[in-house]
Amino acid sequence: MGVQLGDLISRRKISLQDLSGKTIAIDAYNTLYQFLSIIRGTDGRPLMDEDGRVTSHLSGLLYRTANLVEVGILPSYVFDGEPPKLKRLEIMRREEVKRVATVKYEKALKEGRMEEVRVYAQATAKLRDYMVSDAQHLLSLMGIPWVQAPSEGEAQAAHMAAKGDVYAAASQDYDSLLFGAPVLVRNMAITGRRKLPRKNAYIEVEPEIVELQKVLGQLNIDRTRLIHLGILVGTDYNPDGIQGIGPKTALKLVTQYGSFQDIREHLKEKGSFPVDPEDLVKLFLEPEVMDRYKLQWTPPDIEGVVAFLCGERSFSEERVRKALSTMGSGLKKAQERPTLERWFG
């Protein structure tokens, strides 16, 4: 879900080429879920190998990562660890959404309502343990670093960006800003022409950059008040927020009142918070992160990738080799560009 701040903050459209030479920490779970949701057959089913194991996430990870490296981007992927206790409500909500979507998907498929089949199928996506292990194995073979976060991958990616170890955190969710990412890149995994659900219309999805300091300056608030704003409209830890409070009203409240306690007093007739807001503020300001990671990019083990994807997961060898062939020159370009920029400014 993520905090819904899109109506308030400015975003700058870019091309992938604009990120050439940049290191990016990508929220792995967020990205893999996008692949699982989007890469599906006409019947809504995900891609599978001969043994019935889902491979949609591997397909997206291979071809998208190869594309990023080809244009000179150095991606790293950050995987979730143990979710915070405060996230239990959202995890339960997501499981219920998937259960309901599965029932609707099967009914629509049986009745031949294919447009609805595709919509419901996307909502049934579930990232299982073997999919995560497969993704990490593939990344290692491709020479792409990945980081195991102690808790939220998004918080860890934001921490890496705040330290300056990477240029930006990449995720679809704006929570990265609440976690302190100085630069957020969106739409890295899903650029291109996409069909709108339930509509005979398409949109062009382009990468975009959101800069934390510009957001805070635009809204005339600090990061703590941005977190307060997020809590009012809803985060992964209090998904429903406060009934009747949208982003614009939330901004007025955090600007008008000096403390969150004052906001709570003002809103007491609207009901109580399911989670103590002060606990949420602490979670965003002091998330569980770590510094024991190594970011090193190496040429892909082409034969290793082929053995895994083609020998074990039923991929086309021709397509896999073609994707990997472009990574070597892109990796060299990405690693040379920062040196050139240091010399020539």
Segment 158-191, tens digit of pLDDT: 999 999 999 999 998 889 999 999 999 999 877 6
The residues spanned by each domain of the chain are 12-219
- CATH architecture of residue range(s) 12-219: 3-Layer(aba) Sandwich (3.40)
Q: What is the mean pLDDT of residues 306-329?
A: 93
Nearest in space to 145 (alpha carbons), one of 316, 297, 306, 326: 297
pLDDT at 343 over 70: no
Of the given ranges (3-7, 71-75, 188-192, 196-200), which has the lowest mean pLDDT? 196-200
Q: pLDDT class for 255, splitting at 50, 70, 90?
A: very high
Q: pLDDT class for 31, splitting at 50, 70, 90?
A: very high
Which pLDDT does position 148 carry in this prediction?
A: 98
Task: For the chain, count helices (H), then strands (E).
Answer: 15, 9
Q: Which residues, in sequence order, are CB contacts of 56 under 8 Å at separation 6+?
A: 35, 36, 39, 40, 46, 47
The answer to whether residues 156 and 11 touch, using CB atoms and an 8 Å cutoff, is no
Whole-number average pLDDT of the chain: 86
How far apart are the C-alpha atoms of 222 and 115, rounded to whole Å? 44
Q: What is the mean pLDDT of residues 297-302?
A: 94
How far apart are the C-alpha atoms of 125 and 306, rounded to whole Å? 26
The answer to whether residues 288 and 306 touch, using CB atoms and an 8 Å cutoff, is no
Nearest in space to 334 (alpha carbons), one of 296, 301, 292: 296
How far apart are the C-alpha atoms of 345 and 340, rounded to whole Å? 8
| pTM reported for the whole predicted model | 0.88
Q: pLDDT class for 195, splitting at 50, 70, 90?
A: low
Burial 310-327 (b: 16+ CB within 10 A, else e): beebebeeeebeebbeeb
pLDDT at 11 over 70: yes
Which pLDDT does position 101 carry in this prediction?
A: 81
The answer to whether residues 300 and 141 touch, using CB atoms and an 8 Å cutoff, is yes
Q: pLDDT class for 1, splitting at 50, 70, 90?
A: low
Q: What values do phi and psi take at 186, rounded to 5?
A: -110, 160
- The token duo for 167 is 């240029």
Q: What is the mean pLDDT of residues 39-59?
A: 90
Between 72 and 94, the higher pLDDT residue: 72
pLDDT at 197 over 70: no
Between 95 and 26, the higher pLDDT residue: 26
Count CA within 13 A, CB hemisphere, residue 83.
11
